[in-house]
Amino acid sequence: MKTKLIGMLICVMLMTTLLAVAKPPQKIESKSSTETMSAAYDADVPVWEIGDKWTYKIDNISILYQQEDKLIHLYLSIAELPLTVINTTGDVYTLEFQTSLSGKCTVNANSDNGPVNLTITFLNLPISGNVLIEKSTLGIKEVSAVFVKGKFLVDIINQPFITLPRFLQKISARITMNVTTTFDTPFSLLTFPLSTGIFWNLNSTNFTMNGKIQSNLLTLLNFLNNIAKQFGYEFLPEKFSALLPSIDIKEALIALGTDNVFKIPAIPFAFICYNTEDITIPAGTYEAYTILIAGKAQCYYAPIVGNVIKITGNFEEIIPYITNINMELLYTNYS
């Protein structure tokens, strides 16, 4: 249960990261095209309208989590990630997304009773939600996401808690999960006005995760564990059985020895915009600002698209655990 929960929580953290990275700056007419479009001027903060939309593909996201006796690899892909403005009221923009997520997670950990090794796979997992972005800074303030009865396949290779027959070592489970991530200070990777030859810092902030995880499997495990407890054969660790049958994410993180508040530290001069160049992506060819991030990743922002058009590289220096990401713009109706 512990290792399965970690994998799901990292998956949710990933969605927060993606939406934080895809920050749309200046609003200028844009259409899908094979023509090179110029960015020969400074990019200022945009004014969005309801219905503005950017759709991305994400070929690969690799997440590596390693701490003491835990090692988790998570590989994800998203065929299409549409971000659509649905509200411009007040000091924030509200964007919505509906997409499907595929991936595989391998978990290796040592418990007090012995090693735990398993894999979790999921294909075309429907997920939807909203993201709130501060108008004046384009900093992300909040992300909410949910999936309902998503199918997860769990292959239990080793676990020390209970002897399972072979047919129960591979389990299919339907999981429902909702999570809300809130930033104390809006989180942004860009700065405005954007121009070549400038440096800027990554500002520190904290983000807080809250939500619920529900499943018929969790309900069944809780029922069986309570029956076994009556005969002195409880097979789940007490601190984790106490979380069942509906898992509260905050309580689960505390049980795992951490908290539901995570810190993103400040990094001086984490970003440099060093030139403009022609970048070809599925949505077209655009002259884009090239931004080097912590010396290991690159972000390409095209003012005529009013958005980031490509992100690639290792983000581990500024976003913990993300060792690789490759993301490109497929389509926009920005005009």
| Three-state secondary structure of 238-302 | HHHHCCCCCEEHHHHHHHCCCCCEEEECCEEEEEEEEEEEEEEECCEEEEEEEEEECCCEEEEEE
Looking from the CA of 56 toward its CB, the CA atoms found within 13 Å total: 27
The residue with greater pLDDT, 1 or 293, is 293
Mean pLDDT computed over 33-58: 73
DSSP string of 52-104, one letter each residue: -EEEEEEEEEEEEEEETTEEEEEEEEEEEEEEEEEE--TTEEEEEEEEEEEEE
pTM of structure: 0.77
What is the extent of the structural domain holding 64? 2-332
- Residue 33 pLDDT > 50, yes or no? no
Q: Is the pLDDT of residue 315 over 90?
A: no
Structure tokens at 119: 């894999």
Mean pLDDT confidence for 249-267: 83
Is there a contact between 222 and 1 (Cβ–Cβ < 8 Å)?
no
What pLDDT is stored for residue 7 in this prediction? 39
Length of the chain: 335
| Structural domain total, the chain | 1
**Span 284-307, average pLDDT:** 90
